[in-house]
Amino acid sequence: MLKRIKPGQRAKIRCHHAKGAVRQRLLDLGFVPETEVEVIRKAPLGDPIECYVANYKVALRNSEADLIEVECD
Long-range contacts from 48-56, C-beta under 8 angstroms, 24+ separation: 49/2, 49/3, 51/2, 53/29, 54/29, 54/30, 56/30
Q: How far is residue 48 CA from its own chain's centroid?
A: 11
What integer pLDDT is reported at residue 3 of this predicted model?
A: 87
- Give the chain's mean pLDDT: 90
- Determine the average pLDDT of the residues in 49-72: 91
CATH, residue 12: 2.30.30.90
What integer pLDDT is reported at residue 44 of this predicted model?
A: 87
- Structural domain tally of the chain? 1
pLDDT tens column, 5-24: 899 999 999 998 989 999 99
Rg (CA), the chain: 11
What integer pLDDT is reported at residue 46 of this predicted model?
A: 75
* Domain of residue 64, residue span: 2-72
